[in-house]
Amino acid sequence: MQKHTTFNAITLITPTASMTAEVFGGRAKCLQRLIRLDMPVPTTVALSFDTVRGIAQGRMPDIDAVLEPFGPTPLVSVRPSSLDPDWGGPGAVLNIGMNDARCAALADEIGLASAISLYLRFIQSFAINVARLDPEPFELPDDADEASLAAMLAAYEAETNEPFPQDPARQLGEVLRFMARAWDGTTARILREAKGAPADAGLGLVVQEMALGVGAPESGAGVIQFASEVTGAPEVKGRYLSQSQGRDALAQEGAIYLTRDPRGPSLEELCPEIYADLIRIGALARERLREEMQVEFTIESGVLHVLDAVRLPRSSRAAVRIAVALGEQGVIPREEAVLRIAPNTLNDLLHRQVAPDAAREVMASGIAASPGAASGQLVFSASEAQAAAARGEQSILVRRETTPEDIRGMHAASGVVTARGGITSHAAVIGRGLGLPCVVGVSNLTIDTRKRTIRAGSRVLGAGEIVTVDGHTGDVLIGQPGTIEPALDDAFRTLLSWADDLRDIGVRANADTPDDAQTARDFSAEGIGLCRTEHMFFDGERLTVMREMIFAQRDDDRAAALDRLLPMQRADFTRLFEIMEGLPVCIRLFDPPLHEFLPSDRAGLRDLAEALDQPLSDVMERAERMSEYNPMLGMRGVRLGITVPEIYDMQARAIFEAAIGLSEKTGGEFVPDIMLPLVSAQREVEIVRARIDSVAAAVQTETGREVTYRLGVMVETPRAALRAGDIAENTAFLSFGTNDMTQMTYGLSRDDAGRFMSEYVKQGVYREDPFHTLDLEGVGELLTIAAERGRTARNDLVLAICGEHGADQATIAFCRSHGFDYVSCSPFRVPGARLSAARLAV
């Protein structure tokens, strides 16, 4: 036989046995801890991962050795023990060892009906799970008597052509084999891998002497916990059922409350001493196991046994509250409380969610681009969404892709679905900014805007029908499943304040509007790291002035349009500065693909012709000339600043005038950050800098107040990364726009990649969607080069990231290791980024 190092790791769990969760699993280790705490745990034997692996491959350990601690007539249970209890495993099998002889002997002790009932339960579980028989003939009868036992034994024999096995060793061997193989099943594997288990995760098994739970005087079983699994608030909860075993109390009728309860009888009244013992055991387990536990117990003839304790399964909200409570009470250090909460857990607290137990009718699925859940009637245009909002009704806006014209609709809608686009597409970026649930790239969804229907396969829904966007999973659901509300409670704030004490990298928010800025403040962002100013021009009146400016043929027409835009922008910046109360605000000058501002349909072009008082044919011809095949690489960013410099002049003036206004109001000095997008050459920076300086000088002369600002460059083209050394000489900071940098490094269109991305990831071409998870190997190398060259040229250079990746823990780890000063991300991702940064610093 092949020699296995730990093949024979079959250990009686004692206070001194040598065991680790990595070899025997979490349940076995936990039972040992309970035994060390002198809790009344029945005799227990643990089988290691390797032993169980051996069993699955046909190498059965010495079963007599396993049974030896249980005496000549063993009666045992087997439970799974994986490293992390959340990974699941086969259900417990109880009463192994029941046979004709044991049943007869037990009848004298606990009565015939109780003994037969245990035997029947075992036959049932063995027949269905181990022998894989049809469950029907093995349903438990109402009366556990000799006739029903004979019938079930006969049914077993009829189905298998052999009598029910009587030898406890054979019974146990078969149960162990069944459990070992169940762990290897495909479904079990997929389920646990979805919960983060590695492909080679092992299963340990725990064999434990049965505490019967049936018989007289009081016998039964129950489960007790000391905090709510929903809110995490301290609360004694659970059920107890007389004459029962395992977790029957949670599933069957007749169970009673644990604590005195006006709704019915309780264990506290039935067995006050045992109840008091359970409370004491719970407090001890919590303190010494340093975790909120759920305890499974059995009362056998008036004596309490603790069979098992598992980490209390909990909602995200409860997880935060429990970690904070343990930290505040000194049971665990605060650092550990921070480490116990995975950053994306916070998403569930920040956004409404589809209730985990709600029925889901999935119509189609795409990329989960902005978390949260929202239901509403299907609408197909921004104006329909606005009309629904005006009626006080919720709507879900469905578009092939969104454009700036849809922004108003996105503000009015409760959720957004697009058939095209990836994680950094327009809809996704705006959705995250607004905290609006959004699913993009639903490629199997056909949108017919004329008929106003959506279709996926054979399902067709029309305008007005109710759908739900699940921005956590990327599903579009038919109807309105139940939801759970967000919960930004004290525990959430406490946890994040601990995180702030620990972290060593700044966290700012990408915020374009006063609402965004307020959200950023509410989530304690340390400033605005990116204000995309083009997003300030999407609302009705401004869009028209903007179009007039774009279409102006003569300088004075353009100047007139800019004069109208200036006070609007000044007011925008003033609001942002006020809300941020002196925290840094980084304003990126205009970066639209210009043609996005053009009307996309004939009606829009006609409106524009009217506003401009020009013939429709002229407007159409000019729009045609301005349209671009690939606008993401066309007349964008600083290119606009070079070719139509008046726009940046206007923005710089608005920024300076707003900053001076704020300084006058508060008496302090306020220095705005101004950032240039899509730079690819040092000369671009020089030219724009000279113009901004001259605007600054003009404002200084006009107001008699000193104007200061910091100029920065958004590094988002590969060339800017490579030339970061000379670019840095003219700038105070570099902020990496990893959305565009990813697009350009891969040569992937950020708006179109959604079409094939899932296939690429499925086939392993890309490990992950690089718009979602920063590509450290490729894009990361460019960032590394840029950071080094930039800092070499200028050692006080501030380095930051403001692409969508900025909130991601792996990206933050990269930024920390390269000495970045801060990350900036959508406001709703700020809490997660604060937590991630802290976890990395611990």
Helices (H), 413-525: 426-434, 490-502, 514-522
- Give least dist CB 751 to ligand PEP, A: 11
- Give least dist CB 825 to ligand PEP, A: 10
- Of 343, 737, 827, 832, the residue at the interface with ligand PEP (CB under 6 A) is 737
* Residue 737 in the binding site for Mg ion (CB under 5 A): yes
* Residue 673 in the binding site for ligand PEP (CB under 6 A): no
**Cβ–Cβ < 8 Å for 587, 674:** yes
Question: Which tokens in the block code for residue 335?
Answer: 């650092």
- Give least dist CB 636 to Mg ion, A: 8
The label of the residue with tokens 């108003």 reads: 408
Q: What are the residues whose beta carbons fall under 8 Å from the beta carbon of 273, sequence distance 6 or more?
A: none
Q: Which is nearer to Mg ion, 520 or 744 (CB)?
A: 744
Enclosing H/E stretch for 754? helix 754-762
- Of 48, 418, 739, 826, the residue at the interface with ligand PEP (CB under 6 A) is 739
Q: Which is nearer to ligand PEP, 373 or 676 (CB)?
A: 676
Question: Which DSSP letter does residue 129 get?
Answer: I
Q: Which is nearer to ligand PEP, 291 or 591 (CB)?
A: 591
Strand 585-588 versus strand 362-365 pairing type: unpaired
- Give least dist CB 425 to Mg ion, A: 12
Compute how many residues bind ligand PEP; rule: CB under 6 A: 12
- Of 292, 384, 516, 716, the residue at the interface with Mg ion (CB under 5 A) is 716
Euclidean distance between the first and the last CA atom of the chain, given in angstroms as a whole number: 47
Strand 822-825 versus strand 506-510 pairing type: parallel
Q: Which is nearer to ligand PEP, 316 or 424 (CB)?
A: 424
Q: What are the residues whose beta carbons fall under 8 Å from the beta carbon of 117, sequence distance 6 or more?
A: 140, 144, 214
Stretch of 140-148, 573-581, 733-741, 777-785 contacting ligand PEP, by CB under 6 A: 733-741
x-or-dash pattern for ligand PEP, window 5-44, by CB under 6 A?
Answer: ----------------------------------------
Q: Find residue 417's DSSP bridge partners.
A: 398, 439
Of ligand PEP, Mg ion, none, which one sits near residue 622, judging by CB under 5 to 8 A according to partner kind? none
| Category of 243 on φ-ψ map: left (φ > 0), alpha (ψ -120 to 50) or beta | left
- Of 239, 472, 532, 772, the residue at the interface with ligand PEP (CB under 6 A) is 532
Compute how many residues bind Mg ion; rule: CB under 5 A: 3
Could you say which residues in the range 682-711 bind ligand PEP, by CB under 6 A? none
Q: Which is nearer to ligand PEP, 416 or 491 (CB)?
A: 416
Strand 710-715 versus strand 673-676 pairing type: parallel
Q: In whole angstroms, what is the distance from residue 575 CA to residue 668 CA?
A: 16
- Of 353, 386, 395, 738, the residue at the interface with ligand PEP (CB under 6 A) is 738
- Give least dist CB 816 to Mg ion, A: 23
- Of 50, 296, 649, 716, the residue at the interface with ligand PEP (CB under 6 A) is 716
**Cβ–Cβ < 8 Å for 526, 508:** yes
Of ligand PEP, Mg ion, none, which one sits near residue 242, judging by CB under 5 to 8 A according to partner kind? none
Stretch of 209-217, 492-500, 736-744, 763-771 contacting ligand PEP, by CB under 6 A: 736-744
- Give least dist CB 419 to ligand PEP, A: 21
Question: Which DSSP letter does residue 128 get?
Answer: I
Catalytic residue selected from 305, 351, 426, 772: 426
Q: What are the residues whose beta carbons fall under 8 Å from the beta carbon of 27, sequence distance 6 or more?
A: 79, 80, 81, 82, 85, 204, 206, 308, 310
Q: Which is nearer to ligand PEP, 593 or 672 (CB)?
A: 593
Stretch of 254-262, 307-315, 541-549, 708-716 contacting Mg ion, by CB under 5 A: 708-716
Q: Which is nearer to Mg ion, 80 or 737 (CB)?
A: 737
Q: In whole angstroms, what is the distance from residue 828 CA to residue 24 CA?
A: 41
Q: Which is nearer to ligand PEP, 255 or 429 (CB)?
A: 429
- Give least dist CB 803 to ligand PEP, A: 3
**Cβ–Cβ < 8 Å for 525, 827:** yes
Q: Is the dihedral of CA 261, 262, 266, 272 positive or negative?
A: positive
Stretch of 264-272, 398-406, 732-740, 785-793 contacting Mg ion, by CB under 5 A: 732-740
* Residue 803 in the binding site for ligand PEP (CB under 6 A): yes
- Give least dist CB 370 to ligand PEP, A: 14
Catalytic residue selected from 103, 802, 815, 825: 802
Q: Which is nearer to ligand PEP, 770 or 803 (CB)?
A: 803
Name the 3-class secondary structure at 358.
coil
Q: Which is nearer to ligand PEP, 222 or 806 (CB)?
A: 806
Name the 3-class secondary structure at 570.
helix
Q: Which is nearer to Mg ion, 241 or 713 (CB)?
A: 713
* Residue 513 in the binding site for ligand PEP (CB under 6 A): no
Stretch of 58-66, 68-76, 281-289, 715-723 contacting Mg ion, by CB under 5 A: 715-723
How far is CA 499 from each of CA 227, 300, 824, 836, rounded to the nearest angstrom?
Answer: 24, 47, 17, 8
Active site residue 802: yes
Of ligand PEP, Mg ion, none, which one sits near residue 803, judging by CB under 5 to 8 A according to partner kind? ligand PEP
- Give least dist CB 528 to ligand PEP, A: 13
- Give least dist CB 734 to Mg ion, A: 13
* Residue 802 in the binding site for ligand PEP (CB under 6 A): yes
Burial of residue 295 (CB within 10 Å: 0-12, 13-18, 19+) is buried
Q: Which is nearer to ligand PEP, 423 or 565 (CB)?
A: 423
Which residue is nearest to ligand PEP, using beta carbons?
Answer: 737
**Cβ–Cβ < 8 Å for 636, 582:** no
Q: Could you give the maximum distance between any two Cα atoms of the chain, in Å? A: 107
How far is CA 635 from each of CA 72, 626, 639, 641, 681, rounded to the nearest angstrom?
Answer: 86, 9, 6, 10, 15
- Of 740, 751, 769, 775, the residue at the interface with ligand PEP (CB under 6 A) is 740
Q: Is the dihedral of CA 581, 583, 588, 592 positive or negative?
A: negative
The string of DSSP letters for 174-220 reads: HHHHHHHHHHHSHHHHHHHHHTT--TT--EEEEEEEPP---SSSS-E
The label of the residue with tokens 């923005």 reads: 651
The label of the residue with tokens 């005496």 reads: 71
- Give least dist CB 713 to ligand PEP, A: 13
- Give least dist CB 438 to ligand PEP, A: 15
* Residue 740 in the binding site for Mg ion (CB under 5 A): yes
Which residue is nearest to Mg ion, using beta carbons?
Answer: 740
Q: In whole angstroms, what is the distance from residue 635 CA to residue 646 CA?
A: 15
Helices (H), 627-681: 637-643, 646-666
Q: In whole angstroms, what is the distance from residue 514 CA to residue 521 CA?
A: 10
Stretch of 242-250, 441-449, 735-743, 764-772 contacting ligand PEP, by CB under 6 A: 735-743
The string of DSSP letters for 583-607 reads: S-EEEEP----GGGGS--SHHHHHH
x-or-dash pattern for ligand PEP, window 576-615, by CB under 6 A?
Answer: ---------------x------------------------
Active site residue 426: yes
- Give least dist CB 44 to ligand PEP, A: 55
* Residue 433 in the binding site for ligand PEP (CB under 6 A): no
Binding region for ligand PEP (CB under 6 A): 424, 429, 530, 532, 591, 716, 737-740, 802-803
Catalytic site positions: 426, 802
Binding region for Mg ion (CB under 5 A): 716, 737, 740
